[in-house]
Amino acid sequence: MDGHFEIVEVSPRDGLQNEKKILTTTQKIELISRAIDAGLTRIEVTSFVNPKRVPQMFDSDELVQNLPKKNGRDIKYIGLVLNEHGFTRALKSDLDIANFAIVASDTFSIKNQGATTSENLKTLKKIFHESNEKIQIAVTIAASFGCPFDGEISSNHLLSIVEQIAKIGLNEICLADTIGVATPKDIKTKLKAIKGCFPEMAIKLHLHNTRNTGIANAWTGIEQGITGLESSFGGSGGCPFAPKATGNIPTEDLLYMLNRSGVTTGISLQKSIETANWLEQQLEKKLPGLLKETDIFPPNQLGES
């Protein structure tokens, strides 16, 4: 693969939002600093949600005000928003990107955001036009490959959502396998369908490893021409509103595969492993990532991926 491949680190948000152990603002800032030190330049740092529903995100506004300085580096801080109120909070912050979630099924969408998919698409259109270039709008289609309540998500249904997003004016989407049900065949089928209808649409993937297919799905996505992947140190993470939802693909495991495959990211594998181990200690639980339990191969390759 030619060129630089983008990894978005989501452990400060998705990696923490479903954990019993609630990290302090100071711990979160250290996690973000460690990500930057490892070479990550796209970091989802928080979500602007009601802390009564997601207590792990109790400090979103304070956290954003105390993010590590960029010191001239091309670093983009991202905040997840689920509604207009969350967007207003993001707009008032110094974040670079507001990532709006559209859930592909109505039942899950209502549980997650209190609104249907169609209603949230209308909200996306409104905030996109209200952003006035003060903040970049990104969009993630959650449950793109399956819903815990409504079951399968067809390619035609997904295409109808992508079509409406394209009409709004967005030229990039992130497809999320929120409950980790996709297989490489599913990834290939839906990416080909979208590329066939919307060849100019850039696509990222946000994958969960709930059923141990996440890394295989990531490689399939790369083969199909995705522009980036979202991952989390140690494989931490999960959705509070999806039953039995478990972690993201581990950043360090992903980097090992990319490094061995000649895909350039500019991210330190060794520092990513160290951060995964650090996060495991902070959360006081075993995280599912595998590379931190063994050695890098060959042993002398400890640099950047």
Task: Give the active site residues.
Answer: 239
DSSP state of 171: -
Backbone Cα Rg of the chain: 18
Give the separation between CA 190 and CA 182, rounded to whole angstroms: 10
Q: Residue length, the chain? A: 305
d(Cα 215, Cα 220) in Å, to the nearest integer? 9
Contact 112, 101 (CB under 8 A): yes
**Residue closest to 18 by CA, chosen among 210, 221, 305, 172:** 210
Query: Could you tell me the CA-to-CA distances from 52 to 48, 118, 130, 296 in Å, in that order?
Result: 12, 25, 27, 41
